[in-house]
Amino acid sequence: MALIQSPVLPFRPAVGVHALALLLMELQPGADGPQILTADALYQLGRVEEAYRLLLNIEHTAPRPPILARLAILQLHRGFLYDAYQLLKKLINSGDTSCLRPLLSVASLQDRALLEKHCHTASKRILCGQQAESAIREAVAYLSIAIMASGGGAIDSLLERARCYALLGQWKTAIFDFTAILKEHPDHVQALCGRGFTYLMLNQQKECTLDILVALQCGAEEVTQSMLSLKDKARKLVSEWLGQHCRSSLSETLSANPVPCREELLREAFLIGGALMNTDCREPRWHLLYIDTLLAKGEVNAAGAHLKQVFGQEPRDAAAKARWGVVKAWQQNYKVAANYLSVVSEKEPANLDFLITLLQSAQRKRLAQAASQQASSVSESGQWEQALALLTLAVRAVNEMKLQYLRQRAACLAHLGLHERAVSDLNKVIQGHSADGREEQRVWAEDHCRRGRSLLLCSHEESGLQDFSQALDLHEEQALLCVEAGLGTQRLAEMFLRFALQNYGQQKLDKAWLLTETGLKVDSGHVELRRLRARIKREVSGPCIVN
């Protein structure tokens, strides 16, 4: 049976209920219901001692949860905290605390506050120095009563219970409690961190990262302390997720905005970078992230100072050295910048592309020019690997928009025997052919010859021969010069012969004729090609080929 309807009911209705309860006790002697109702009425009338004695008499005969709950509240009211604790413990051990809910709806605000405080304190005492599952479950029971007594608004108890549920592996239930706090207090840092770390346990990266980000905006120092309290594995994982988010966000910002970026666009990156460095100052990636954010803002001197402090003026680490390249480019020392940035161009192309976005358009063009000039210089001394790295920097700095850098890199790749990559570069060059004119045709013929040679050397022979045929049609003189400087006329003529014979054997006489004629352009005195041409002439009827 519940108490009377409200703790603020007028005195007169409580008197009436008391009279009715006494009548029921006479009509049903020994029954629990009328006696509990009488005790509730006495409580409402302020006759606490009488209510206590009446309930105590019932409890001695048959202890039950509704009676234990009432006795506990009355003992708290009377100031007997130890007795109240023992009664609550019995209630919890009974496994039925639901009888408290209707009771609390009519208990006085003062007694509800006493119950909330007592239960929260009891839970803290249980958890102090104990992490056994049984102790945690008992603490959860006390915390649940405290939350119930507060009407669901006991923030500290909700927070503590959520943490207990997380310790018990009941992560979804923990999230429910954290969310209950955040509905009323969306900027509660501990609840945000708690829910974020619980999402971490569920391997929900997006949700975890979002909660920690919001928490950082509300209280970065408190979040840092919370992260430091995590175990190593968990701390490293949440740091990794934050770092990934920050990198992605910074890249999107730079792709959409020219440097230097406005401060408000970089506020989140600075916030995350600072938190990560404070969490693990020994991790180089977090320092590099902070340096990149400084560069994105245009604070070149600050970025250089941090670089020097953490990595030194001449760092061994390639990623740090590349950042010096960006700093040097801002300082208009493009030759040094090219050398520094080239250390990541071949090994870490994605990193290079990101670092290039930290430069202004004019700086990128000047950097590409310096890299191209450096590549020409080092290639003369046979340093082809270094030349390739510099040329890749030049190509990426202008986003493949300058064909000359692609031509230069393709030649370098061919020299190193990387013909598939050379072909890829020359494909882009040849796709860029547009204007007419004799001078352009001379260059285009050379492009086709270079691609044809690389195609032949990586076993794409038919496509390679087509390139040489096209080069001869565009500018025969330049094409023959390229052949002599490359494969040699005899070797190329032999390839044309082999494919011509293959097509002749398959009775593809038109194609055999074209291959033979092209081969003779390469080497007009080639005996076997001349014999094959004569043979085809005899076999083909009609004048369309021989004329």
| Range in 30-39, 148-157, 202-211, 275-284 with the lowest mean pLDDT | 30-39
Q: Which has more pLDDT, 162 or 76?
A: 162
Closest CA to 239 of 306, 192, 286: 286
Q: What is the mean pLDDT of the chain?
A: 89
Name the pLDDT band for 83 (thresholds 50, 70, 90).
confident
Please compute the mean of the pLDDT values over residues 391-403 and round it to a whole number.
94
Residue 9 has pLDDT above 50, yes or no: no
Please tell me the distance from the alpha carbon of residue 319 to that of residue 347, in angstroms, as a whole number.
11
pLDDT at 153: 86
Return the axis-axis angle of helices 300-311 and 318-330, rounded to nearest 10°.
Answer: 150
pLDDT (tens digit per residue) in 342-387 = 999 999 999 999 999 999 999 999 999 999 999 999 999 999 999 9
User: Which residue is it, tokens 């569920």?
Assistant: 202
Please compute the mean of the pLDDT values over residues 5-32 and round it to a whole number.
51
Please compute the mean of the pLDDT values over residues 417-434 and round it to a whole number.
94
The pTM of this model reads 0.82
pLDDT at 539: 84
Please compute the mean of the pLDDT values over residues 109-115 and round it to a whole number.
89
Residue 196 has pLDDT above 60, yes or no: yes
Q: How many CA atoms lie within 13 A of 97 on its CB side?
A: 20
Query: How many CB atoms are located within 10 Å of the residue 256 CB?
Result: 9
Please tell me the distance from the alpha carbon of residue 302 to that of residue 268, in angstroms, as a whole number.
18
Please compute the mean of the pLDDT values over residues 213-238 and round it to a whole number.
96
* Rg (alpha carbons) of the chain, rounded to whole number: 42
The secondary structure of 158-169, three-state, reads: HHHHHHHHHHCC
Please give the helix or strand (H or E) that residue 419 lies within, else none: helix 419-431
Specify the 3-state DSSP secondary structure of 434. coil
Inter-residue contact 391 to 418 (CB < 8 Å): no
pLDDT at 1: 37
Residue 5 has pLDDT above 60, yes or no: no
| Domains identified in the chain and CATH numbers | 1-107 (1.25.40.10)
pLDDT at 16: 53
Name the pLDDT band for 33 (thresholds 50, 70, 90).
low
pLDDT at 292: 98
High-pLDDT (> 70) share of the chain, %: 88
Cα dihedral sign, 522-526-529-531 = positive
pLDDT at 397: 97
pLDDT at 546: 43
Residue 438 has pLDDT above 60, yes or no: no
Q: Which has more pLDDT, 485 or 65?
A: 485
Please tell me the distance from the alpha carbon of residue 51 to that of residue 77, in angstroms, as a whole number.
12
Q: Which has more pLDDT, 55 or 317?
A: 317
pLDDT at 80: 87
Question: Cα separations (Å) of 545 from 119, 316, 518, 523, 536?
Answer: 104, 66, 14, 20, 9
pLDDT at 192: 98
Identity at 108, one-letter amino acid code: S
pLDDT (tens digit per residue) in 140-160 = 999 999 999 998 889 999 999
Name the pLDDT band for 57 (thresholds 50, 70, 90).
confident
Name the pLDDT band for 8 (thresholds 50, 70, 90).
very low
Please tell me the distance from the alpha carbon of residue 533 to that of residue 519, in angstroms, as a whole number.
10
Name the pLDDT band for 34 (thresholds 50, 70, 90).
low
Name the pLDDT band for 51 (thresholds 50, 70, 90).
low
Name the pLDDT band for 95 (thresholds 50, 70, 90).
confident
Please tell me the distance from the alpha carbon of residue 498 to that of residue 516, in angstroms, as a whole number.
10
Q: E-strand spans in 440-509? A: none
Q: Which two tokens stand for residue 344?
A: 């990541």
Please tell me the distance from the alpha carbon of residue 296 to that of residue 361, in angstroms, as a whole number.
14
High-pLDDT (> 90) share of the chain, %: 73
Inter-residue contact 33 to 24 (CB < 8 Å): yes
Q: What is the largest CA-CA distance in the chain?
A: 135
DSSP state of 383: -
**Alpha helix stretches (DSSP H) within 346-415:** 349-356, 361-380, 384-397, 403-415
Please tell me the distance from the alpha carbon of residue 348 to that of residue 331, in angstroms, as a whole number.
24
Phi first, then psi, for residue 460 (nearest 5°) are: -105, 65
Q: How many CA atoms lie within 13 A of 510 on its CB side?
A: 3
Please compute the mean of the pLDDT values over residues 297-302 and round it to a whole number.
97
Please compute the mean of the pLDDT values over residues 216-237 and round it to a whole number.
96
pLDDT at 78: 84
Q: What is the DSSP string of 144-196?
A: HHHHHHTTS--HHHHHHHHHHHHHTT-HHHHHHHHHHHHHH-TT-HHHHHHHH
Cα dihedral sign, 369-372-378-380 = negative
Please give the helix or strand (H or E) that residue 307 lies within, else none: helix 300-311
Please compute the mean of the pLDDT values over residues 233-252 and round it to a whole number.
97
